Chain A
Amino acid sequence: MARILHITIKDINGLTSGTHFWCNDLVTAVAACQSIANLSNGQIVGAYLAEPLDITQIPSNTTSNNNVETIKTRAVVRLSGPDPGSVASPRSYCRVTIPAPVGSIINGLTGDPAGALVTPFIGKVLTPSDVTTDKIEKVYYGRR
């Protein structure tokens, strides 16, 4: 599976720029980054491989005007998971934001953390420290 390598480069003045192209795998991507570093006076400050997701498998993937909210309004779902490595901070947290949320997720100050539309995120979403989430802490409104 070929993937797109995105590279962000910063020059000596702090100006940033990007470049991207297709490559085969992570090993190739690291080698390509080395070639780019050899060819540039800038510093590579970030690089990732992007794999397109097959969104044709997502059912009912259409827009609707069933709710008053536009894409600027979001339902924020705050999730948490156990963090066995730290006694001082025993939980690890993350948030996912859902643009133009349906009314059954949130229709007031807060939404139902046990709602059928938010619980599928549990166990599938990781925190930035790679902890698998096991609980929804809160559902509330946010903005982009």
Chain B
Amino acid sequence: MSYLLHIEWVDVNGETGSSSAWVASTDDGLTVAKAFKAASNARITSAELRETVPLQTITNNTASNNNVETAKTKAKIKMRGADAGSLASPFAYVTVGIPAPIGTLINGVVGDTSNTDANDLASHVLSPSGVQMSSIEKIYYGS
């Protein structure tokens, strides 16, 4: 398993750029990031390790013209999960955009929140604070 190390930079003038390199592990990612920094007068503003997701097992992964919408039009699925840690904000929310949505997901102002695939998607999504999504609040159009 290898990872693509992606680094974002800013120089003393405020100009930004990026670099990348393949590494074997997360430990090597940090070592290489340190080597990059030692060799540059710029500052690293962020760095991440990217692991490629294999797509060959995904079924139905073809583009079709079954709906009028292009990839720029998205169905927005607003999801909710419990947040036991905060009384002031008792739920955690996430919104996922689906480009070129199928007609059975949304075909009007709002979509059906009981859609099986949308609920299946929610079961795989976490909020930025790590809360598991458990229900669909709303499905609507966005871009």
Contacts and interface: CB of A to CB of B under 8 A. Distances in A.
Name which of A6, A21, A101, A125 has the most chain B CB atoms within 10 A of its CB.
Answer: A21
Interface in B1-47: 2-6, 9-13, 15-17, 19-24, 26, 28-47
B58 A37 contact: yes
Contact size range, B: 35 or more
Contacts, number: 264
B70 interface: yes
Interface string A90-103: 00001011111110
A94 B11 CA distance: 25
Given A11-B100, A29-B53, A54-B30, A98 B39 contact: yes
Given A9-B99, A144-B17, A33 B53 contact: yes
Interface of B: 2-6, 9-13, 15-17, 19-24, 26, 28-55, 57-67, 69-72, 74-75, 94, 96-102, 105, 115, 117-118, 120-121, 124-128, 130
The 6 closest A-B pairs by CB, nearest first: A35-B121, A17-B71, A47-B53, A53-B47, A120-B35, A32-B124
